[in-house]
């Protein structure tokens, strides 16, 4: 659902009236009306509306859930160079969750559409693509390149995962100093794991001078962000 909110937060100044009305109805929780306006806007070639209509079908908001219809509208969007639609096609094909619901998991198609999204500057597409290369394809060099693109594009989970690759020495020479820099970027953006890892590194003195106060500070941030291991580390140093 987080992705849905992210996309709905796009600037709407250039969108047509039907799309704007659909967006307003969505925010009010009147999903049936939102679907009605998005349909009109999509028919009127407002491509962002086709993407949002795909979401409505995917999540069953204001209309019966239908993954095949969702794909149909995401495809319209992607074919019109709307990278959010390409991303959603990649996401749908990459997830086992959709198998048995009319959509077969297909990493070849997922890679194809994530690449379109990533090449179009959609950082989340780079991130999802890098996950496939790291986990499914076991191509760490490619994963490293894509995590960097995601990080540079402002998606800080990409910075965290890139930091982990430097930390472990996967696809790149092990470099704790770079890992620290990347974990800090992620932590500053509210990534609990980034804060937790910094706490651990200051605690152990890995690549940086051991500093229990710093470790406690980062463990505390991780804890506040919902990390149980961060809470455990903070409690340990507080005793």
- Distance, CA of 13 to chain centre: 25
Could you confirm whether domain 1-120 is CATH 1.25.40.10?
yes
Distances from the Cα of 41 to the Cα of 4, 38, 84, 193, 207, angstroms: 18, 5, 17, 41, 55
CATH number of 123-186: 1.25.40.10
Which of these, 101, 22, 97, 93, lies nearest to 62 by C-alpha position?
22
> Largest alpha-carbon pair distance within the chain?
64
DSSP for residue 209: -
Contact between 212 and 237 (Cβ < 8 Å): yes
Mean pLDDT by 10 residues, the chain (239 residues): 45 63 95 96 94 94 93 96 95 72 83 96 96 89 96 97 95 94 97 97 90 96 96 91
**Spatial separation of the C-alpha atoms in residues 88 and 113, rounded to whole Å:** 8
pLDDT at 5: 43
pLDDT at 103: 77
| Tokens representing residue 87 in the block | 């991303």
pLDDT at 136: 84
Judge whether 1-120 and 123-186 match in fold.
yes
Q: Nearest 5 degrees, angle CA 83-CA 51-CA 143?
A: 35
Q: Where are the domains of the chain?
A: 1-120, 123-186, 190-239
pLDDT at 1: 44
pLDDT at 34: 96
pLDDT at 4: 44
pLDDT at 14: 44
**Spatial separation of the C-alpha atoms in residues 127 and 133, rounded to whole Å:** 10
On the 0-12 / 13-18 / 19+ scale of CB atoms within 10 A, 238 is: exposed
Residue 45 φ/ψ, nearest 5 degrees: 70, 25
Contact between 127 and 114 (Cβ < 8 Å): no
pLDDT at 2: 44
């Amino acid at each position: 659902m987080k992705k849905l909110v992210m996309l709905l937060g796009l600037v709407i100044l250039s969108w047509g009236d039907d799309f704007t009305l659909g967006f307003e109805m969505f925010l009010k929780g009147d999903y049936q009306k939102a679907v009605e306006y998005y349909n009109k806007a999509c028919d009127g070639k407002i491509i962002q509306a086709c993407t949002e209509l795909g979401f409505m079908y995917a999540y069953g908001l204001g209309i019966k859930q239908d993954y095949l219809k969702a794909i149909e509208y995401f495809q319209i969007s992607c074919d019109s160079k709307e990278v959010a639609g390409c991303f959603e096609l990649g996401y749908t094909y990459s997830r086992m969750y959709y198998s048995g619901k009319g959509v077969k998991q297909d990493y070849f198609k997922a890679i194809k559409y994530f690449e379109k999204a990533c090449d179009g500057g959609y950082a989340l597409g780079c991130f999802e693509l890098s996950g496939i290369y790291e986990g499914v394809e076991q191509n760490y060099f490619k994963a490293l390149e894509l995590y960097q693109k995601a990080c540079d594009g402002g998606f800080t989970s990409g910075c965290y995962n890139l930091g982990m690759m430097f930390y472990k020495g996967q696809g790149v020479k092990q470099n704790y100093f770079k890992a620290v820099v990347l974990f800090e970027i992620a932590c500053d953006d509210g990534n609990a794991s980034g804060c937790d890892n910094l706490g651990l590194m200051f605690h152990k003195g890995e690549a940086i001078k051991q500093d229990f106060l710093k470790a406690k500070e980062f463990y505390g941030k991780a804890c506040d962000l919902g990390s149980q291991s961060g809470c455990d580390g903070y409690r340990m140093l507080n005793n």
